[in-house]
Structure 1
Amino acid sequence: MRAFEAASRHLSFKRAAEELNVTPAAISQQVRQLEDYFGIRLFDRNPRALTLTGVGALALPLLAAGMSNILAACQAMQNAASKDYVVITAPPSFALKWLVPRLETFRNVHEKIEVRIDARDELTDFKNGWADIGIRYGTGKYTDLHVEPLFDDSYFPVCSPKLIDAHGKAFEPDDLQRYSLLHVDWPALQSAAPNWAMWLHAARTTHPDAHTGHRFTSEMMALDAAISGFGIALVSSRIAELDIEAGRVRRLFSDLAPLKSGFRYYLVRPNDTKPRDEVMQVCDWLRIESTT
């Protein structure tokens, strides 16, 4: 069944064999044995390609779901074992720009607790037992979780010091029309997320690329592009603060009020089990860091 599922996804015995670390002949033989067992044909074997038969196409999603559940069950059993580390799951930009640079302060106080960072945009399912703590950015409506607000956030434009020096004078909002705007796609938050159109409207100015232009799938990428001098990014104060302190970027228009996002960063964890002492110590540390 594993051989059939892999071959169905790739429509190739060769690629399925590479995934499962066996030979293409072994995949073909295992699929043939499955077909012989049920007395059916799962693939049409053409000279240059495989295609699923009707019954093969019907069986594939059911089998894939079953194998996914088996994998999740195995992970839950594996993760149920006692572990001597704490896993924090967080969005990539937050993890790399805010969380990771602060881990040294945690180690200085809790040198015996190992922290592992799982940086991903997808919301982690805590039921599988892998993650102990999560950082989420949104409205705070996360059912079946213990939820604590960490901090609010606001947004303002930043750019490279070299770009400011080349500009030769103090930036005015209308000057933005001479430069490329760097946009962030927020698939999870969609149109409610902070964007250039909102900021420009609040600043009472316009830009031809208010809705279009250079786009990035994460705030961190847009910020790094601004650091390189590629354009001007609208970024979170929390994500940009260390780069601003280090002088890699500068905030523009500090006399203008930053754009409020309407969202917060939240600390979340499962609420159906008593957290380990190590988990609570990491939570306490995150609360302290969020106030500094």
Structure 2
Amino acid sequence: MNTTLPPLRALQAFEAFGRLGSVSGAARALGVTPGAISQQLKQLEAHLGMPLLIKDGRRAALTPAARAYHDLISQGFERLMLAQSLIASQWQNGELTISGLPTLMQRWLNPRLLGFRATAGDVPIRMVATHREPDPQALGQSFRLTYGAAAQRYAHSRVLFTDRCFPVCSPGFLERYPDARDPAVLAGLPLIEIDWGPGYATVPRWEQWFDQAGTPARGLRPVAVHSLSGLAIEAAAAGQGAALAQASFVSADLESGRVLRLSDDDLPMPEPYLICWSPMTLARPAAREFLNWIMRETRPLRSPTVKEG
């Protein structure tokens, strides 16, 4: 196997394909043709001396070894993107940078930012969505929205809220499996799992929810595993299976009817979401306004028994 680094363009195409799940999606993200993506993937396979893709019907998917390789490659690209964002923010006067877990940023924070703008005016905001926790020393004047014990690495943090999980599915899924509201039946149906990776071992899993519902289920084999909660919700909305969704991420989908809640039983997240910052952050008025705003926004969601850090 070649031990030299592959061409950066090939790695970039591979990272985009693994993240987006298709050649066409990677091509749109990188502004090139699907043929160019396919060529770069073949070049990377030739460089590594091993296959990276397997055919899954009409689509191509990563091999198990390629998925592990992609996890490491993605971390590198996330750090490059974060570094670029931090440098760029220093050149833009008054810009407020907020880094956070991808689905938390997309499905919880982003829909609420209009409320912050009503308070703070036209403060430029840079949003950086990444699972990778930034180095505390590189946080600069930014905020980090994260989960659980990951907040301990930062100088300052406060609890935002503790979420709850429950099963959801598409209306079409419930039509195909009308008894899916029964946990004993649900355990034998197509289930979509969420796995954030080894850094987040306390994220709830299906087996825990079934225990909470009084129907223990062991040896479950999900039809799909997603590293992003948002992707799992989209898969459930597309009818691929039932997903264990977080209340804060799925509220809009429930209101629109894209997904349906299958049970009143819910499972609390073992740890809360938190906002973190460095000693330099609150020197800026816009940052202080953002912190005050987000704490007001989450006050109704916080349990009175939770002590803020």
TM-score, scaled relative to structure 2: 0.65
From 271, 278, 286, the equivalent of 2:286 is: 278
Distance in 2 of aligned mates of 1:241 and 1:251? 10
Q: Which has the higher strand share?
A: 1
Distance in 1 of aligned mates of 2:87 and 2:126? 19
Look up the match of 1:268.
276
1:128 deviates by 2.7
Percent same amino acid at aligned positions? 25
Distance in 2 of aligned mates of 1:232 and 1:18? 35
Look up the match of 2:137.
127
**Paired residues of 1:89 and 1:118 also in contact (CA < 8 A):** yes
DSSP-derived class of the 1:263 partner: coil
Sort the Cα spacing of 1:156 and 1:276 in 2 relative to 1 into closer, same or farther, 3 A: same
1:127 deviates by 2.3
- Letter paired with 2:190: S
DSSP-derived class of the 1:89 partner: strand
1:178 deviates by 4.5
Sort the Cα spacing of 1:169 and 1:82 in 2 relative to 1 into closer, same or farther, 3 A: closer
Distance in 1 of aligned mates of 2:111 and 2:232? 19
**Residue 241 (1) aligns with residue 241 (2):** no
DSSP-derived class of the 1:84 partner: coil
Sort the Cα spacing of 1:77 and 1:106 in 2 relative to 1 into closer, same or farther, 3 A: closer
1:206 deviates by 4.8
**Residue 153 (1) aligns with residue 149 (2):** no
Look up the match of 2:65.
none
From 227, 233, 253, the equivalent of 1:223 is: 233
Structure 2 unaligned residues grouped into runs of 5+ = 12-45, 48-78, 301-309
Sort the Cα spacing of 1:140 and 1:121 in 2 relative to 1 into closer, same or farther, 3 A: closer
**Paired residues of 2:97 and 2:126 also in contact (CA < 8 A):** yes
Distance in 1 of aligned mates of 2:291 and 2:114? 16
Look up the match of 2:306.
none
Distance in 1 of aligned mates of 2:87 and 2:184? 59
Distance in 2 of aligned mates of 1:225 and 1:77? 36
Look up the match of 1:83.
93
Q: Write out per-residue CA displacement over residues 87-130 of structure 1, whole angstroms, 9 at most, x where no aligned residue.
A: 11010111111111112222233332111210000002242356
Look up the match of 2:267.
259
1:226 deviates by 0.5
Sort the Cα spacing of 1:131 and 1:170 in 2 relative to 1 into closer, same or farther, 3 A: same
Sort the Cα spacing of 1:189 and 1:263 in 2 relative to 1 into closer, same or farther, 3 A: farther
Q: Write out per-residue CA displacement over residues 218-239 of structure 1, whole angstroms, 9 at most, x where no aligned residue.
A: 1111111011111000121111
Distance in 1 of aligned mates of 2:10 and 2:179? 59
From 123, 128, 140, the equivalent of 1:118 is: 128
Aligned residues: 233
Sort the Cα spacing of 1:201 and 1:86 in 2 relative to 1 into closer, same or farther, 3 A: same
1:9 deviates by 1.9
Distance in 2 of aligned mates of 1:117 and 1:201? 37
DSSP-derived class of the 1:234 partner: strand
DSSP-derived class of the 1:183 partner: strand
- 195-204 vs 104-113, which moves further: 104-113
Q: Write out per-residue CA displacement over residues 121-144 of structure 1, whole angstroms, 9 at most, x where no aligned residue.
A: 000224235661110111365234
**Paired residues of 2:143 and 2:277 also in contact (CA < 8 A):** yes
DSSP-derived class of the 2:245 partner: strand
Distance in 1 of aligned mates of 2:87 and 2:199? 33
**Paired residues of 2:143 and 2:281 also in contact (CA < 8 A):** no
Look up the match of 1:139.
149
- Letter paired with 1:89: S
How is 1:1-292 mapped onto 2 (pairs within 5 angstroms)?
8-10=4-6, 15=7, 80=90, 83-129=93-139, 132-139=142-149, 141-168=151-178, 171-207=181-217, 210-254=220-264, 256=265, 258-272=266-280, 274-291=282-299
Distance in 2 of aligned mates of 1:116 and 1:141? 21
**Paired residues of 1:138 and 1:189 also in contact (CA < 8 A):** no
CA RMSD of aligned residues (A): 3.4
Over alpha carbons, which structure has the higher Rg?
1
**Paired residues of 2:151 and 2:276 also in contact (CA < 8 A):** no
DSSP-derived class of the 1:193 partner: coil
- Letter paired with 1:185: D
